[in-house]
Amino acid sequence: MDPGAILAANGMSITRNRVNILNTMKLATVPLSGKEICQRLREGCDKSTVYRTLNTLYNKEVLQRVIIDHEVKYALRSGDRPGNGHDRDHLHFKCSSCGKLFCLTETEVGDYQLPEGFIKEENQFLVIGKCNKCR
Amino acid sequence: MDPGAILAANGMSITRNRVNILNTMKLATVPLSGKEICQRLREGCDKSTVYRTLNTLYNKEVLQRVIIDHEVKYALRSGDRPGNGHDRDHLHFKCSSCGKLFCLTETEVGDYQLPEGFIKEENQFLVIGKCNKCR
DNA sequence: TAATATTTGCAAATGAGTTGCAAAAATACG
DNA sequence: CGTATTTTTGCAACTCATTTGCAAATATTA
């Protein structure tokens, strides 16, 4: 879906900022923080607008929120980016030397058995270690 | 080990604040944030002292750092609290309704296969969902 | 296109965590 | 023990990501 369609489908006004933000998300190969999105937006956009937009898109379930270390990051849900999307529950790897983030999409994350009465909504699984360049 | 012994073993001066902080950690059943530790300390202790102490104890490997959602929390390593300690790599559960945190110590967390050349140092695995009371 | 509703930029606020510094407490040592 | 030296503490001020109020700008509706 193109940005305009995503916005329309979610009852949001189609604005230049929102389209730019969605295009930035489409190009990303890893989840991005609000700050990183601000930096990637060529046409300046106030940070308050960026954060407001991310929150709205998250609440509309267009974006997924991923916590990496203790940074909040966002990625398009796969429904909105077929073949290249970011599913809930996949594994992330963060390099403790260079800080680079990797999506380990090939690794299936299994569900763990929870105590009686507990219901899983989402897995946040992160492995920290050394990447192949920093090892 | 009692707080005094832990401090001495790590070459740290034994002070009232540090003993209080370690006792608070000993009583905790889940990892605590700096703010939560401040709140639990009956005898007031400046937050800068709390955070400084947590950092020092973390660097000395007395405490483990656990990231829950995007909050940094600390727990005593199991070596310092036999039978009740907090090992690396175990699974945590956070309730999306009441916010309560659970340590699922009975659930073993397996290692995932990483791409060639990647080395695991630590697993941060969190399941988000509804606890047995909020379901 | 005018009227109404939504979004934006700005500046100021928030909140967790950190830092410099002088005073207070601990430790070392005679 | 008591004093000198080292370490820790509280305070206030700072940082940095994120949020908020509000009036101006932009989108949508009719």
Q: What is the pLDDT of residue A10?
A: 96
Nearest to A118 among B71, B120, B130 (CB): B130
C-beta atoms of B122 and A125 within 8 A: no
Nearest to A41 by CA among A75, A17, A5, A58: A17
pLDDT band at B84 (very low <50, low <70, confident <90, very high): low
| A65: helix, strand or coil | strand
Q: Examine the pLDDT at B99 and tell me if it is beyond 50.
A: yes
Predicted confidence (pLDDT) per residue in B33-51, tens digit:
999 999 999 888 999 999 9
Nearest to B28 by CA among B105, B93, B108, B86: B86
B-chain residues near A118 (CB < 8 A)? 93, 102, 129-132, 135
Please report, rounded to whole angstroms, the spatial distance between the CA atom of protein residue B50 and the C1' atom of nucleotide D8. 12
Q: CA of A56, closest CA in chain B: separation in Å?
A: 19
Task: Determine contact, residues B101/B110, Cβ cutoff 8 Å.
Answer: no
| B38: helix, strand or coil | helix
Residue of higher predicted confidence among A84 and B129: B129
Predicted confidence (pLDDT) per residue in A60-102, tens digit:
999 999 889 889 999 998 655 444 555 667 789 999 888 899 9
Predicted confidence (pLDDT) per residue in A30-50, tens digit:
999 999 999 999 888 999 999
Q: Where are the alpha helices (DSSP H) in chain B?
A: 3-9, 16-27, 34-40, 47-59
Please report, rounded to whole angstroms, the spatial distance between the CA atom of protein residue A22 and the C1' atom of nucleotide C8. 17
% of chain A exceeding 90 in pLDDT:
67
Rounded mean pLDDT of B103-129? 89
pLDDT band at B85 (very low <50, low <70, confident <90, very high): low
